[in-house]
Structure 1
Amino acid sequence: MFSSPFRNVASLYRRTDRRFRASLLLTVFCVLLTPLPQSSAQDNSEFPLKNGRVVVGPDFAMAEELKDLGNPKGKLFEFMMPLADSEIFDGTDSTLDRRKPVRKERKIVVYVPAAYEDGTAAPFLVMHDGPSRLNLVRNALDNMTISKDPHRKLPAFVAIAVQNGGDDSKGSQRGLEYDTMSDRLARFIQLEVLPAVENHPTIRKAYPNFELTDDPWGRAVMGCSSGGAAALTMGWFRPEWFRRLITYSGTFVDQQDDDAPEEAEYPLGAWEYHSSMKLIENSEKKPLRIFTHVAENDNRANDPESTYHNWVMANERTADALEAKGYDYRYVFSKASRHCDRRVFEATLADTLAWMWHGYEPADD
């Protein structure tokens, strides 16, 4: 019934006195109860950028990793996408205020880092309001994809900066794209922007086997203000597509068009993430990794709750909701700073990217 080694142990046990038997049993139990050593790759306790709440400022300095340190550069590509060609955002939505200008075409800027190997399925970061902070992200890629510090090393992700459709707030094309509580923007990026990037002839000429990953854990979204709210909304409504989300000065306030059909379900727009509806807390937990930020002097910081437009209150409550629900989240509060403050990006974006991509492993093909 037992293999030879087990028979030998049983025979030894029978032939020994009572005290030795007790000692032998104690030794066996100690061995069984001792935990197996964990490999350093699996040990997250040493990762210095912890989840939870972080306060920065009032003094800010640009992180070295966001400067041009002379490391090998990748390739930059630009092209235009006419709005009229889109089946999702063609610039003629019935909710638009005709007094607010709509772009005829939007610019797409793509940065492929030097560390990218043609033929691999690249992770990527979609950046709203492109080109936005692309210069900082480019430097981070140049410097941190070759970092010797495993806690600072970034995967060779492709940065895709997408210009908004024009203007701002309710009644604007930008507001329609970013402040609407639906999967519409996620579908636009997934079904129209990403194929345009993958199949662009100039990119294909430089990288004949260029490919973007289908792994949702390899797909990140970043934005500030309404672009930040849009980042969360993309992952919220389509976590099967986008799971790593970065929001600075997120517009988790009521800026959805008053005549939008989504008003029926979400009457206060992105305010509903943390409102009495408690959308985050009352919904099934989603597979998302979420970074949020707000500035001490962010938009309408002294407004009462009844305005549904206090950015500081909105982001504080969003962080509370993420924590209560047990999300993998990091929340930065920046002192002596303002809405989408460039100094905050310069001081924190390297840490944010390192935290956001922590634990990423390319999916098996």
Structure 2
Amino acid sequence: MRKLATLAGVAFAASVALAPMFGQARPTPPARDPLTPGYPAATELPDGQLPPKNADGNFILGPTHTSVPESLPQTGVPQGSIFEFTMNSPDSKLYPGIAREPGTFGTVDPAEPSKLIVTTSHPAPYSRKVSVYIPKQYIAGTIAPFIVGADGPDRTLFTVLDNLIAQKRVPAMIAISISNGGGDAQGSERGLEYDTMSGRYAEFVETEVLPEVEAKYHVKLTKDPDGRATTGGSSGGSCALIMAWYHPELYHRVLTYSGTYVNQQWPYSAETPHGAWEFHEHLIPNTTRKPLRLWLEVGDRDLLNPNIMRDEMHDWVLANEKMAEVLAAKGYHYQFVFARNAGHVDQAVRRQTLGEALEYVWQGYVPVTR
């Protein structure tokens, strides 16, 4: 079965490479089987059923993905306030801005197929929006837990929080949804921010974003890492884990959809030569367990090798399956959902699961007054 899956991957990779040459859209990746030999064992749930909110482990979901009430505005539920402000690259000490020339990507290093050479990236300005959700239940002057999200604004997150907070299923938290600096993958500002294996993005949030939020909206954000969460999809998902991994003194709770735990870092780093693929290849297995709680999802039609690199480190399904395997081996509290009939950061899956995911990630939280 693994051999068949590999042959399908080779054929798909070839079609991906050839499609742009003929002016065609990239083909849909083939559906992968969660029962493939080598994938960790998982509990298959009845269609429409979600995992228990307090259960660690691996679960198979679908194929029907119906929005749960928590993902939709509900009559009589207090709605939080949503604010927005703009940040400009000239004001940033950590991210002054880059961009990759349109229509370019990079070339594979002939001496190392896992390394991409990008020559068309250069300094460039950007502006980004930051959306801030403050729940109706927030009491002015008190210290609040919060969640930081990538690729904002995230209206689904805000709606789900309205409903869960009203039902007392999660704490009354502030949500800070930060848009990226533009572009995607190697050589872009978004790729630099989200795919770099370092603490820089968490430091950017800590020193440049959070102080602005507190000053503009007169809120107090907790310093307790147990009261801080990160979330995102795709490279925003790997970024969410990168933030907590390199700064566990800042974040303990991580929630990702279709996390880009693949080889997409640029510039190249000898310390983490395979980018976020290093999480399941070396970092998690070889590092003492960190105080993190994680929720992860991947779809059966998630991304598969959608670029010129042929290093066998660009299969999002395999990467997330490997994440589940190493997290279990190290004894982490985690929940992994494999969604049937689902694509990359599938919004139907997200509207079905985000409420349960937030409950799982926030279980055990006890507020502190600092």
TM bucket (normalised to shorter chain) is: 0.7 to 0.9
Answer yes or no: is 1:280 the counterpart of 2:289.
no
- Structure 1 counterpart SS, 2:175: strand
1:285-332 Cα deviation digits (max 9, x unpaired)? 101111111111100079999421010110000110000000010101
Counterparts of 1:118 and 1:232, CA distance in 2: 30
2:82 corresponds to which letter in structure 1? L
Distance verdict in 2 for CA 1:73–1:103, change over 3 Å: farther
Alignment match, 1:23: none
Counterparts of 1:176 and 1:235, CA distance in 2: 17
Distance verdict in 2 for CA 1:243–1:172, change over 3 Å: same
- Structure 2 counterpart SS, 1:88: coil
| Unmatched 5+ stretches in structure 1 | 1-46, 205-209
**TM-score, length of structure 2 as denominator length:** 0.77
2:288 corresponds to which letter in structure 1? E
Counterparts of 2:292 and 2:314, CA distance in 1: 25
Answer yes or no: is 1:218 the counterpart of 2:227.
yes
1:82 corresponds to which letter in structure 2? N
Name whichever structure is richer in helix by fraction: 1
Distance verdict in 2 for CA 1:97–1:351, change over 3 Å: farther
Distance verdict in 2 for CA 1:283–1:342, change over 3 Å: same
Number of matched residues? 301
Structure ID, larger Rg: 1
Cα distance, 1:96 vs structure 2: 7.8
Alignment match, 2:338: 333
Report matched runs for 1:189-338 at 5 Å: 189-200=205-216, 203-204=217-218, 210-257=219-266, 259-260=267-268, 263-275=269-281, 278-300=282-304, 306-338=311-343
| Unmatched 5+ stretches in structure 2 | 1-51, 101-116
Of 30, 51, 55, the match for 2:56: 51
Cα distance, 1:113 vs structure 2: 0.7
Alignment match, 2:160: 140
Cα distance, 1:142 vs structure 2: 1.6
Cα distance, 1:104 vs structure 2: 2.1
The two structures, once aligned, show a CA RMSD in angstroms of: 2.2
For the 8 Å contact 2:78–2:166, the answer to whether it is kept is no
Alignment match, 1:178: 194
For the 8 Å contact 1:301–1:312, the answer to whether it is kept is no
Alignment match, 1:67: 72
Counterparts of 2:93 and 2:182, CA distance in 1: 17
Distance verdict in 2 for CA 1:102–1:168, change over 3 Å: farther
Alignment match, 2:91: 85
- Structure 2 counterpart SS, 1:107: strand
Cα distance, 1:364 vs structure 2: 3.5
